[in-house]
Amino acid sequence: MPTTSQVNSEEAKDVLRPLLEAGNDVLHLAFSSGLSGSYNSVRLAAEELKEEYPDRRILVVDSLCASLGEGLFVYKAVQMKEAGASVDEVAAWLEAHKQNFCHVFTVDDLFHLYRGGRVSKAAAIVGTMINLKPLLHVDDEGHLIPLSKVRGRKKSLATLVSMMEERIGSWKDKNDIIFISHGDCEEDAQYVAKLVREKFGYESFLINTIGATIGTHSGPGTVALFFMGEYR
């Protein structure tokens, strides 16, 4: 079974130092501190590097995001940069709005959640027997939290869109793109995009596979929906 490990501060310095030596300021958008210690590793590296490069700006933002949710976080940062915002303005906006980056998802295999300590072995066995599919989100502290369970795959995919409807609020007219990731189940991801399109009228989607690090914990069949909303 694959495992994952966080970057340490020395590895982080090895990545950041060439950027600083080239005369660049750095804005690092870190994976959720609620799911990994990598944010703290980069923060410590940044503090040390500030002493070596006092004329450079080194900012580290805890995104409290994961997977393609962090991708959406980066997407918004790039939009602001291309519109002429400074590194400090981008960092400030992201800090102020990080709670508006919504992550809702479902998994198809409860045993991956069991191996990650998210559900008990008994719950995984019983849930699999009666075809229960959990719905989860990333909360205000960046933790992965189960919210509910529904019976059947189609129902779980439709519930993602219902969860989006509950959260989207005043951001309904501000979302310019919706992100969807999947664990080797593109047809299901496209089905969720179809439901979102029908419900909200959005036409711009980014659909991509889940990376190896997240996929190790969520498993094949995961479908995740990312958007801007009133609350997580």
pLDDT in tens, 83-124: 999 999 999 999 999 999 999 999 987 777 777 666 678 777
Q: What is the pLDDT of residue 117?
A: 67
pLDDT interval class at 1 (50, 70, 90): low
Largest CA distance in the chain: 60
**84 shares a domain with 192:** no
**175 shares a domain with 141:** yes
Last residue of a domain, which of 99, 133, 166?
99
Q: What is the pLDDT of residue 146?
A: 84
**Higher-scoring residue by pLDDT: 186, 112:** 186
Q: Give per-residue pLDDT as tens, 63-76.
A: 999 999 999 999 99
Q: Is residue 54 part of a domain?
A: yes
Q: How distant, in Å, are the alpha carbons of 158, 193, 209 from that of 188?
A: 10, 9, 12
Q: What is the pLDDT of residue 118?
A: 60
**91 shares a domain with 16:** yes
**112 shares a domain with 42:** no
Q: Give per-residue pLDDT as tens, 24-64.
A: 999 999 999 998 999 999 999 999 999 999 999 999 999 99
Q: Is residue 2 part of a domain?
A: no
Q: What is the rounded CA–CA span in Å between residue 121 and residue 127? A: 10
Q: How many residues does the chain have?
A: 232
**154 shares a domain with 118:** yes
Please compute the mean of the pLDDT values over residues 195-224 and round it to a whole number.
Answer: 92
Question: CATH number of the domain that 106 lies in?
Answer: 3.30.1180.10
Please compute the mean of the pLDDT values over residues 123-150 and round it to a whole number.
Answer: 86
Q: Is residue 117 part of a domain?
A: yes
**76 shares a domain with 107:** no
Chain mean pLDDT for the chain: 93
Which pTM value belongs to this model?
0.92
CA atoms within 13 A on the CB side of 224: 31
Contacts by 40-46 with C-beta closer than 8 Å and gap 24+?
41/6, 41/7, 41/8, 41/9, 41/11, 41/12, 42/7, 42/9, 42/12, 42/16, 44/9, 44/12, 45/9, 45/10, 45/12, 45/13, 45/16, 46/12, 46/16
Q: What is the rounded CA–CA span in Å between residue 105 and residue 120? A: 19
Q: Is residue 55 part of a domain?
A: yes
Last residue of a domain, which of 75, 99, 123?
99
Q: What is the rounded CA–CA span in Å between residue 42 and residue 12? A: 6
- pLDDT greater than 80 at residue 196: yes
Q: Is residue 116 part of a domain?
A: yes
The alpha helices in the chain, defined as continuous H runs, are: 9-21, 38-52, 68-82, 87-97, 110-115, 121-129, 153-168, 186-200, 212-218
**83 shares a domain with 123:** no
Question: CATH number of the domain that 54 lies in?
Answer: 3.40.50.10440
Last residue of a domain, which of 39, 73, 99?
99
**213 shares a domain with 110:** yes
Q: Is residue 4 part of a domain?
A: no
Q: Is residue 94 part of a domain?
A: yes
**145 shares a domain with 89:** no
Domains held by the chain: number: 2
Q: What is the pLDDT of residue 141?
A: 96
**195 shares a domain with 142:** yes
Residue range(s) defining the domain that contains residue 17: 9-99
Which residues lie across from 62 on neighbouring strands? 30
**107 shares a domain with 94:** no
Q: Is residue 223 part of a domain?
A: yes
132-138 and 101-106 beta bridge pairing? antiparallel
**68 shares a domain with 134:** no
